Amino acid sequence: MHPSLSQYPLKAAYGFKHLSLSMLLVLSSLATPIYANEEAVPAATEASATAPAAGTALVTRESLPLNLSVEGTVEAINQAMISAQTSGTINKINYDINDFVEKGAVLLEFEGVQNRAALAQARAGTGMAKAMLNEANNEYKRVKRLFDKKLMAASQLDKARAARNTAVAQLRSAKAGVSAAADQAGDTVVRAPFSGYVIKRHVQLGESANPGQPLFSGVALDELRVLANIPQSHFEAIQARQQAHIEVGRPGAEPRRLEVMEMTLFPYAEQGTRQVGVRLMLKKGVEGILPGMLVKAVFDIGEKARLVVPKQAIFQRSEVSGVYVLKDDKISLRQVRLGDAFDEDKMEILAGLNEGEAVMLDIVAGGQKLQAQLEGGL
């Protein structure tokens, strides 16, 4: 973040007793005008472009990324509303809103008397089916022996075989009934499908629930992504470069920058807006953002030559930004119009400076030198 004049009071830091920033701009403009656009700034001398004085930095033109910034919404990859799979009375609730739940933990339990009774009945039916199959097998073997001795008609053998096959089918059906009853009995215990936070509880203790009725809503914060929409005119460039990052605004500070691990472009555009959806996967375990937050998705769509200076050379008073320009050992206060910030120490200059000019890096020293220059009538 570039320095602010509020950090350096004019009277104390710069030594000016009665001069405001606007007065300084007027006085310094007598020697060096404040230009309204880049083309109006005279070209710097070759000497200043190649040999900057100590404590200064040159205004340079660099090829820097051209970005597209759009709004995006943070969402959790794992989020779910858990519903009842069986009917019954809720007799135990273990978690409430904002509680963290481990995967597999028991959220709530149903009374489940009918479910357990149905499971016991199904198991009893399996035992009966096994007994019937055993009896049918023995009968088939007896009839088969008699048939082999020519003492039993073929129709009797067919009848015994059919009875055995029926008993086999009945046993399979009984086992399937046990499996279904066991699942229903298991549905009386509701477990968390993933580790996360409870964001809503839809039922109360003692309430009767039916299949499909919502019980809990939960969300996991360890894996997040951002959903955004881009204009169709930039689709091709974004698809080709596959470079983006997320910016989270912070009051009084530079936006926080988050890395994008994976980008997915939707294979269609919305008919109403002619925009293409983009899903941006964030690094696992990222902190400081929550589902539902509004952030900026910044996409790399190309490169552009830009004038830049170090951020430390820029000061700001209210809405006015300025730098101290050093030329031929004389200093002037120059108002500038700022563009985008790059990396940790570069700021784009849209107007007010020209490539090759030298700016003071120490704004306090620059102010003191300008004061001495004005008092000396230089």
Read off the pLDDT of residues 104-115 as tens digits, 9 standing for 90 and up.
999 998 886 676
Which pair of structure tokens corresponds to residue 110? Answer: 């149903």
Query: Which of 335, 314, 324 has its CA nearest to residue 358?
Result: 324
DSSP 138-177: HHHHHHHHHHHTT-S-HHHHHHHHHHHHHHHHHHHHHHHH
Task: Flag whether pLDDT at 218 surpasses 50.
Answer: yes
Task: Flag whether pLDDT at 348 surpasses 50.
Answer: yes
Question: d(Cα 353, Cα 264) in Å, to the nearest integer?
Answer: 40
Do residues 216 and 200 touch, judged by C-beta distance below 8 A? yes
Burial label for 226, CB within 10 Å (0-12, 13-18, 19+), is buried
Confidence band (pLDDT; 50, 70, 90) for 5? very low
pLDDT of residue 33: 42
Give this prediction's pTM.
0.60
Read off the pLDDT of residues 234-263 as tens digits, 9 standing for 90 and up.
999 999 999 999 999 888 777 888 999 999
- Architecture of the 79-112+190-220 domain: Beta Barrel (2.40)
Query: Which of 97, 106, 101, 93 has its CA nearest to residue 200?
Result: 97
pLDDT of residue 51: 53
Distances (CA, A) of 54 to 43, 57, 272, 326, 359: 21, 8, 58, 11, 10
Give the three-state DSSP class for 128. Answer: helix
- Among the listed ranges 172-176, 221-225, 275-279, which one has the minimum average pLDDT value? 172-176
Show me where the domains of the chain are located: 5-64+304-375, 69-77+221-303, 79-112+190-220, 113-187
Hey, which CATH number is domain 5-64+304-375, 2.40.420.20, 3.40.50.620, 1.10.3720.10, 3.30.70.580?
Answer: 2.40.420.20
Section 15-39 average pLDDT: 43
Task: Flag whether pLDDT at 49 surpasses 50.
Answer: no
Q: How much of the chain exceeds pLDDT 70, in percent? A: 83
pLDDT of residue 107: 93
Task: Flag whether pLDDT at 325 surpasses 60.
Answer: yes
Answer with the residue of higher pLDDT: 113 or 40.
113
CA angle centred on 322, ends 45 and 1, rounded to 5°: 115
Q: How much of the chain exceeds pLDDT 90, in percent? A: 32
Read off the pLDDT of residues 52-80 as tens digits, 9 standing for 90 and up.
667 888 888 888 878 899 999 999 999 99
What is the rounded average pLDDT for all residues in the chain?
81
| CATH class of the region 69-77+221-303 | mainly beta
Task: Flag whether pLDDT at 142 surpasses 50.
Answer: yes
pLDDT of residue 378: 55
Read off the pLDDT of residues 182-203 as tens digits, 9 standing for 90 and up.
766 667 889 999 999 999 999 9
Task: Flag whether pLDDT at 93 surpasses 90.
Answer: yes
Measured in whole angstroms, the distance separating CA 154 from the mean position of its chain's CA atoms is 75
Section 208-224 average pLDDT: 93
Do residues 358 and 48 touch, judged by C-beta distance below 8 A? yes
